[in-house]
Structure 1
Amino acid sequence: MSKFKRLIASSLIVCLTGLSLPMQASAAIVSTQEAAGTSSMAAERDRVAGFFSRDDVRKSLESQGVDPQAAIDRVATLSDAEVQQLATRIDNAPAGGDVLGIIFTIFIVLLVTDILGFTKVFPFTRSIR
């Protein structure tokens, strides 16, 4: 029993000594662009969601067999790069012209997420999960 107590005491000494060593910390300066980046992405996400709330886009989505609310919910789960890409396509689309290209892109994104099992928007897809 004495050897066991000595082993425990020795291991506690080593552990407590290791805990008392100073920890290293690092810091960096955050640029204004990085700090404002999160708010600008939220604005982009709101702008894309607002685009899907328009009546003409809703009608076009429904004609494609997509639930407009599911598309808006899906925008909330897109990555920042995907939201930026959609916002760029919305900006580049002529007024009232190339809405079908954007809707087709959303259709493909929703179709892929259905096949991967992340969403269940289309009844004709089967998940690979």
Structure 2
Amino acid sequence: MDTLRRLSRPLSHLVVLGLLALSVHVPAAQAAIVTTDAIVSAQQADEDRARVKGLLDREDVKRRLAAAGVNPTDVAARVDALSDTEVHALAGKMDELPAGGDALGVLVFVFVVLLITDILGFTDIFPFVKKPVRR
């Protein structure tokens, strides 16, 4: 009986600590309704990105980009970094080209997009572009 009294105080402290630990409030997860438009636009962006990457993986496109001094890994990284609207615009530009026709227009468009991002300092692809001074 004496050992029960001697152990009851530390045991009661342990039980109180355990109950306090169980009562720690965990914030509830925030749930929201996902609209059909959001899902469709995300899927469309993925499809557009895959189409642009498919075009850039063609050998003739790789040769022309290499002739312009562009590294293919930099191009792939830049396509991954494009926003959904930019990818959609690029894929839309591809749709406007004649079937089986001129991929040069897409190459020029990709080159201009890469050049603009290089001028703005978001990428460092072209050595001939003067970079803005960072303070």
Fold shared, TM-score > 0.5 on shorter chain: yes
Q: Kindly provide the amino acid, as one letter, of the partner of residue 114 in structure 1.
A: D
CA distance in 2, matches of 1:102, 1:113: 16
TM (normalized to structure 2)? 0.67
Cα RMSD (Å)? 2.0
> 1: distance between equivalents of 2:115 and 2:88?
20
Report % sequence identity: 46
Q: How much has 1:96 moved relative to structure 2? A: 4.2
Uncovered stretches (5+) of structure 1, i.e. residues with no partner: 1-26
Q: Work out which of the residue numbers 106, 111, 115 in structure 2 matches 1:107.
A: 111
* Cα distance in 1 for residues equivalent to 2:100 and 2:70: 20
Match of 1:122, SS state, is coil
- CA-to-aligned-CA distance 1:6-30 (integer Å, 9 cap, x gap): xxxxxxxxxxxxxxxxxxxxx8754
The separation in 2 between residues aligned to 1:91 and 1:69, in whole angstroms, is 24
**Deviation of 1:60 (Å):** 1.3
Q: Which residue is 2:90 aligned to?
A: 86
CA distance in 1, matches of 2:129, 2:56: 23
Deviation at 1:122, TM superposition (A): 0.8
Q: Given the alignment of the two structures, is residue 70 of structure 1 paired with residue 74 of structure 2, yes or no?
A: yes
Structure 2: segments with no counterpart, 5+ residues: 1-30
Residue type of the partner of 1:106?
V
SS of corresponding position for 1:120:
coil
Structure 1 residues 17-50: Cα deviation after superposition (integer angstroms, max 9, x where no partner): xxxxxxxxxx875432322321221121122112
What is the TM-score with the length of structure 1 in the denominator? 0.70
The CA distance in 1 between the partners of 2:36 and 2:118, in whole Å, is 38
4+ aligned runs moved over 6 Å, structure 1: none
The match for 2:129 is: 125
